[in-house]
Amino acid sequence: MSQYSAILGTGASLPRRAVSNQELTAFLAAKGVETSAEWIETRTGIQQRYICEPDETNSDMASKAALQALKAAGVLPDQVDLIVLATSTPDQVFPSTACAVQAQIGATHAMAFDIQAVCSGFVYALTVADSMIRAGQARNALVIGSEVFSRLMDWQDRTTCVLFGDGAGAVYLQGSDEPGILGCKLHSDGTLGCILNTTGRIEGGKIVGDPFLRMDGQAVFRQAVSVLGNSALELFEALNFKLEDLDFLVPHQANVRILHSVAKKLKLPEERVIMTVAQHGNTSAASVPLALNHAVAQKQIKKGDNVLLQGVGGGFTWGSVLVRM
């Protein structure tokens, strides 16, 4: 049984097609939706997002990200004994997307299951995998966030359709005698489910209810800034960790204004906040691992750095994980 778990590899996968704000606004104009590339970037910080083609699936992206994370760690798929995949947009009702990934990558010895906590999904999944490793239930884990949110979009709802994109990110987590994941704090408030949701469901072979993502943007913004700042401070206090010892913050990439507000609340200079929202848009559960992989690939985040990973999303859910890379 390992005392800790540690991140030893990261990976990412994006759809083939990048859609700029200019291309998106032209598409929306044809549907009678008025917006502009400048309006989108000014209010969100997003310059482009990736959109899946019909032949691209959640499990395909997740598998590519997982294999990249394994390669970075020098580990073979048949050594993996746990796959936890965070998604709100699975390939199908069941079997789980995690089981599809297990089959695609040849992780023949792995247990596999999905977690649904929307944009907090990755930090929830990471916490679960860390707990299972510490409990001796697993030693070698893939933790994945993968989403195809474009398939939940109402392309006539300007308040949501300009925000989201598709993608997948993954980390390889292994039992360790040295501190890797230092601590986790998760929260939820189901009374706030109304501010961000997709209420449709399958019943009797038909979609019942609204199949599209709906959001109260102002309410989500207020909650996100408040809970992310408080979550970080709560975790630091529990671990007796000093804010000045934090090297990088990797938050959920929802909106650049949220990222700036959280950085200000934590008194962090912006160069220590990893931001990829401009390139990826909001990819829900994939946003944190995509941003983490980007920072590792660019050699911003290095071995030994203290990194805070944060998610916030529908449910309402939120959480923080402090990691020593």
User: pLDDT for 130-157, tens place per residue?
Assistant: 999 999 999 999 999 999 999 999 999 9
CA distances from 203 to 93, 148, 200, 208, 209 (A): 12, 22, 9, 6, 10
One DSSP character per residue, 154-215 reads: -TT-HHHHTTB-EEEEEEEEEEESS-SEEEEEEEE-GGGGGGEE---EEETTEEES--S-EE
Q: What is the mean pLDDT of residues 157-175?
A: 98
Decide if 85 contacts 103 (C-beta within 8 A).
Answer: no
Residue-level pLDDT at 1 = 77
Average pLDDT score over residue span 251-276: 95
Residues serving a catalytic function are 119, 252, 282
* Cβ contact 204:53 at 8 Å: no
Q: Percentage of residues in the chain with pLDDT exceeding 90?
A: 99
Q: Residues of the chain with pLDDT > 70: what percent?
A: 100
Helix, strand, or coil (residue 6): strand
Per residue in 42-82, pLDDT tens? 999 999 999 999 999 999 999 999 999 999 999 999 999 99
Per-residue pLDDT, averaged over 199-225, amounts to 96
> What's the whole-number average pLDDT of the chain?
97
Which pLDDT belongs to residue 56? 98
Q: What is the pLDDT of residue 2?
A: 85
Domain boundaries, the chain: 4-178, 182-324
Domain 182-324 is of which CATH architecture?
A: 3-Layer(aba) Sandwich (3.40)
Q: Are strands 111-115 and 82-86 parallel, antiparallel or unpaired?
A: parallel
Taking the domain 4-178, which CATH number applies? 3.40.47.10
Task: For CA atoms 279, 281, 283, 288, give the dihedral sign.
Answer: positive
pLDDT, tens digit, 9 for 90 and up, residues 11-43: 999 999 999 999 999 999 999 999 999 999 999
Closest CA to 188 of 218, 148, 234, 223: 223
Q: State the number of CA atoms in the 13 A half-sphere of 84 facing the CB.
A: 25
The arithmetic mean of pLDDT across residues 104-128, rounded, is 98
